Amino acid sequence: MGIPRQHTGKYTVQFASSVNKLRDILSQVVDQYQIRDVLLTENGDVKPYARILVNGRSFQFLGGMDVELHDGDTIALIYPWLGHEDF
pLDDT mean for each 10 residues of the chain (87 residues):
57 74 90 85 88 94 94 84 50
Single pTM value for the model:
0.75
Q: Is residue 84 part of a domain?
A: no
What confidence score (pLDDT) does residue 61 get?
A: 95
SS3 of 21-36: the string is EHHHHHHHHHHHCCCH
* Domain limits for position 49: 3-78
Q: What is the CATH number of the domain that holds 18?
A: 3.10.20.30
Chain mean position to CA 33: 11
Is 61 domain-assigned?
yes
Q: Is 87 inside a domain boundary?
A: no
